Amino acid sequence: MDDQTNGINELFAAPNTTIERDVLGELKSILRIHSLSPQELFFKWEAYSLKMGSDTLMNYKTARDFKKDLQDALERESRAKAHMQSAQKRGTNGTPRNAATGDVFGVLDGLVGTPSRGPVMKRRNDFGTPSAKASKLNNTSSPAGDKTPTLGATHEAPQLGAIPFAERQNAGQIVEQLNGHIELPTAPSSAPVEPRVKLKANTDMGKFGYRPMAMKLSEASEFLDERIDEFVDIVQKHHQLEYSAFGNPAAMSPAQIVAVGRIASDTSEGRMNAASMVLETSRRMGAGLRVPLRMEKGAYDFFPGKIVAVRGNNPSGEYFSVTEVLSVPSLLLPATAPTAIDVHNERLQSDDGTETRPLNILIGAGPYTTDSDLSFDSLHELCSQAAETKVDLLILSGPFIDIEHPKVASGDFSLPPDSKIDSSTATLTDVFRAFISQPLSRLAQTLPGITIILVPSVHDAVSKHISWPQDRLNRKELGLPRQATCVTNPMTVSCNDFMTAVSSQDVLFEMQRQRVVSGLNSDALASLARNLLTQRHYFPVFPPLPRDEKALTVGASLDVAYLKLGEILNVSPDLLILPSVLTPFVKVVDGVLVVNPGTASKKRGAGTYARLIVGPRELTEDEREKDEEVDHQLFNRARCDIIRI
């Protein structure tokens, strides 16, 4: 078989089998028409499966539907570009006018609709509360340009009926596992009264209370510029280079130099590719100029915003010819003194000291309910599993009440009967109290020793902080139990002896959509996580994907001036939690345990969550005698399962 066939079978076929011939023919046809690699085709299939439902299987019919969906998307993109170009051409002919609008100076642009020149047609429900019929059609009275994406606006395939939660398939099935040889502990007969997890914040959460939507361009450009200069020092120290080895890649010279800069695209339209890549320099290293890159040798893995160090020259002054891509090191792993580890291990012992029970951790990521209702069945099931197994730590990331949920956006829902809140006067805070705080409070009553961590999302309707990096939620205002700790997004926190980092921003999806790879055959998901660690930032992509190009609602909402709050400081975490709409996974990357728990609920059915069993860090006699700080080795003593809800 050729390389293309092998690649398709490796990615799409079940283990020890090959894909059917007719399906293989359709997939090869897609590769040929769209000039894709098997890996890129697999990513597009994953996005298509998420849109159509988790039960979508690859067969001849779905392959044909998948092919048609890709073709429709390509045609829509072509029409949009043609319309944009024609609009730009019209805009250059003569003086722009707002004729027949009554808006002489353009001050009402986008705030009111444009009156029609023809006969006026009276429309109902334009300015009132959407009726049930209007809600079904996804109509909205929002101004143009500020609409929540609707079914008609995005031209997505019609949503099929949601799968009833009670009829979900393969509930409890383990879909991914690490260290399966570690046995699951039996739940104790009685729940611990005192918490077995001690939290210590490694992030200055006070800095996240900045005022959003007040960004200054000078501050944003200063951060972007300083970040390149910081990597110059990192590369110089790691490769032991003289400062004279660095130079300006935009300057014409036949001499070999090392250039450090940010990967960018020379066009704002379409996806970045090898032909459109440019290297953006800092003011200090290259006067902020951009120079096209020509990759002559070696493998590379780039995306917009990645800071890279490349060796080469620019003999013509037209492009920088790259002969080598220099590696950028990750941060060191954290370490702890043996005496402190002994203190943490004591928390895992029973009251009489005869038994050591490992930590039981559950990790879930929003959304927690399907698009068809606000039942929050997935959240209730997570709480039931936590209560049944006597969980010590529950980590939940948003969105909790998704502002883009069809029911929330339309207001077409009612509160639970036991909430005792008048629906006619209820606020979004009341909605959070009814749907999220109540089940968590019941869980806290059942497990008084549990520790709950809540990480917000930029899509949370109750969050007053709408940009990333994002401030924490207000625990008291939302009626959360005392066992709950609201943290920032992103957040780094020590849980006993190991360091945990979590960011609810879907950086993996952003990197995968804009990634340009050549000459690398490594695990794609592990490579995405490694990129994040070597870039030392929880969201290294810049600029993020434009909203109108996204197949899924994972908007970035970056406040560039404060992106320094998203940096990974001092050391890499032991546990890195990166919720994403991509395939859930657990991997060890450069000594870091990286977990994507998936989403607790998909558009039409239940999703997945992660379970961690973390044993004590056992010290050797040599480590005790040396009395030096030791690494935590979490990846060796933790079992991780990705489980279907």
Predicted local confidence at residue 644, as pLDDT: 95
The pTM assigned to this predicted structure is: 0.75
How far apart CA 400 and CA 393 sit, in angstroms, is: 18
Write down the pLDDT at residue 173: 92
Better-predicted residue by pLDDT, 542 or 62? 542
Structure tokens belonging to residue 348: 């895992």
Beta bridge pairs of residue 501:
492, 576
What angle do helix axes 60-91 and 38-52 make, rounded to 10 degrees?
A: 90
Distance CA 499, CA 205 (A): 16
Q: Are 398 and 470 in contact (CB under 8 A)?
A: no
Q: Best-predicted range by mean pLDDT among 3-17, 120-134, 450-464, 550-564?
A: 450-464
389: pLDDT confidence band, cut at 50, 70 and 90? very high
Query: What are the backbone dihedrals phi and psi of residue 381, each rounded to the nearest 5 degrees, phi first?
Result: -70, -40
pLDDT tier at 58, thresholds 50, 70, 90: confident
Question: What are the tens digits of pLDDT across the range 581-636?
Answer: 999 999 999 999 999 999 999 988 899 999 999 999 999 999 888 889 999 999 99
Compute the distance between CA of residue 445 and CA of residue 387 in angstroms, rounded to an integer: 10
pLDDT at 55: 67
Q: Which of 226, 221, 214, 207 is nearest to 469 (CA)?
A: 207
Does the pLDDT value for residue 191 go beyond 80? yes
Instruction: Tell me what the mean pLDDT of segment 498-522 comes to.
Output: 92
First to last CA, the chain: 38
The C-alpha atoms of residue 105 and residue 119 are separated, in whole angstroms, by 25
Tell me the residue type at 269: E
Predicted local confidence at residue 202, as pLDDT: 92
Across residues 175-203, what is the average pLDDT? 92
Contact of 398 with 457, CB cutoff 8 Å: yes
Residue 431 has pLDDT above 60, yes or no: yes
Using the predicted structure, report yes or no on whether residue 155 has a pLDDT greater than 90.
no
Identify the pLDDT of residue 352. 67
Confidence band of 127 (pLDDT split at 50, 70, 90): very low
Pairing of strands 393-397, 359-365: parallel
Nearest alpha carbon to residue 41 among 83, 10, 16: 10
Overall average pLDDT of the 478-491 stretch = 96
Confidence band (pLDDT; 50, 70, 90) for 640?
A: very high
Dist. CA 614–CA 359, nearest whole Å: 5
Of 80-94, 158-172, 263-277, 504-518, which range is least confident? Answer: 80-94
Q: What is the reported pLDDT for 160?
A: 52
Residue-by-residue DSSP string for 12-25: HSPTT----HHHHH
For residue 455, the model assigns a pLDDT of 97
pLDDT at 233 (0 to 100)? 95
Check the CA dihedral 502-506-507-511 and report its sign. positive
Q: Is pLDDT of 145 > 60? A: no
Q: Is the dihedral of CA 517, 42, 558, 505 positive or negative?
A: negative
Query: Can you tell me the mean pLDDT for 393-403?
Result: 95
- The CA–CA distances, whole Å, from 427 to 147, 232, 408, 461 equal 21, 50, 11, 10
Greatest mean pLDDT range, 114-128, 382-396, 516-530: 382-396
Cα(367)–Cα(599) distance, integer angstroms: 6
Q: Per-residue pLDDT tens for 233-281?
A: 999 999 999 999 999 999 999 999 999 999 999 887 778 988 999 999 9
- Tell me the mean pLDDT in the region 424-431: 88
Confidence of residue 63 (pLDDT cuts 50, 70, 90): confident
Residue 306 has pLDDT above 60, yes or no: yes
Q: Give the percent of the chain with pLDDT over 70.
A: 85
pLDDT of the residue at 5 = 85
For residue 378, the one-letter residue type is: S
pLDDT at 93: 42
Rounded CA gap, 553 and 398, in Å?
Answer: 13
Q: Which 3 state secondary structure label does DSSP give 444?
A: helix
